[in-house]
């Protein structure tokens, strides 16, 4: 029996003074608190048998992955399948009272919450995230891998693996900044998961992800 563990890490807090939904936009880096969260995650994983570290190409994910990789003498592998979900509201404020949703012309983008109509379909997120996790598991077979990604992709994959419907209430996501969603694979088959928050808890509805 071969056990391989893939840790899905959500990046740390981002410097975002304007409260934008930054999505895939470049130039959004970790805040000072986010850097401390990344250090906390690295410390939590320091004694683990990590042999591969992969990360989304976005700056906040690369910054979060760096201390984890350094603690194990590894290089960060950029994995496009771990990137944030696409979103039509990227670069805007989305609050009902002070954002783009105040304009009725934008409401058509919300017409189908099950796909969803405002962004990358949940099914496509699952497909690319599964491929990324499988690559990580193959690189670290019999050991442990780390994949640094983003809230929605991590949560969507988790729901898929647990056999739950993909559409959901974002306020109920269990995926804090700097959290670990650790997937166990036995002989290549998903066998369960564990969740932990080495960087502390955070509001799941924080803009950006």
Range 14-24 average pLDDT: 91
- Give the residue among 100, 50, 97, 60 at the shortest CA–CA distance from 82: 60
**Segment 115-163, tens digit of pLDDT:** 888 789 999 999 999 999 999 999 999 999 999 999 999 999 999 999 9
Residue 95 covered by a domain? no
**Number of domains making up the chain:** 1
Residue 34 covered by a domain? yes
Q: Which domain holds residue 185?
A: 3-16+30-86+120-196
Range 190-206 average pLDDT: 88
Predicted confidence at residue 89, as pLDDT, reads 82
In whole angstroms, give the CA distance from residue 147 to residue 10. 9
**Segment 34-84, tens digit of pLDDT:** 999 999 999 999 999 999 999 999 999 999 999 999 999 999 999 999 999
Residue 161 covered by a domain? yes
Residue 45 covered by a domain? yes
Q: Give the CATH number, domain containing residue 179.
A: 3.40.50.1240
Range 173-192 average pLDDT: 96
Residue 73 covered by a domain? yes
What's the token pair of residue 5? 């563990």
In whole angstroms, give the CA distance from residue 7 to residue 76. 14
Residue 205 covered by a domain? no
Q: Spell out the alpha helix ranges (H) of 46-181.
A: 59-71, 122-139, 151-161
- Give the residue among 5, 171, 6 at the shortest CA–CA distance from 82: 6
pLDDT higher than 60, residue 208: no
Residue 179 covered by a domain? yes
Range 162-175 average pLDDT: 92
In whole angstroms, give the CA distance from residue 116 to residue 108. 12
Predicted confidence at residue 206, as pLDDT, reads 63
In whole angstroms, give the CA distance from residue 99 to residue 92. 7
Residue 101 covered by a domain? no
- Give the residue among 115, 133, 132 at the shortest CA–CA distance from 123: 115
Residues 6+ apart with CB under 8 A from 172: 204
Range 10-18 average pLDDT: 94
In whole angstroms, give the CA distance from residue 44 to residue 42. 5
pTM as predicted: 0.92
């Amino acid at each position: 029996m071969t056990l391989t563990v893939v840790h899905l890490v959500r990046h740390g807090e981002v410097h975002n003074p304007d409260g934008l939904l930054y999505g895939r936009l470049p130039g959004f880096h970790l805040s000072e608190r986010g850097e401390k969260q990344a250090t906390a995650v690295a410390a939590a994983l320091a004694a683990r048998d990590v042999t591969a570290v992969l990360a989304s190409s976005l700056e906040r994910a690369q910054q979060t992955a760096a201390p984890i990789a350094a603690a194990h003498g590894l290089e960060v592998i950029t994995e496009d399948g771990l990137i944030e979900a696409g979103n039509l509201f990227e670069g805007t404020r989305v609050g009902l009272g002070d954002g783009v949703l105040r304009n009725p012309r934008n409401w058509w983008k919300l017409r189908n919450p099950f796909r969803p109509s405002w962004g990358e379909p949940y099914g496509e997120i699952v497909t690319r995230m599964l491929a990324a996790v499988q690559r990580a598991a193959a690189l670290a077979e019999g050991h442990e891998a780390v994949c640094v990604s983003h809230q929605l992709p991590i949560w969507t994959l988790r729901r898929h693996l647990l056999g739950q419907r993909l559409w959901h209430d974002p306020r109920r996501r269990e995926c804090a900044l700097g959290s670990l969603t650790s997937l166990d694979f036995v002989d290549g088959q998903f066998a369960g998961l564990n969740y932990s928050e080495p960087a502390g808890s955070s509001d799941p509805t924080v803009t950006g992800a």
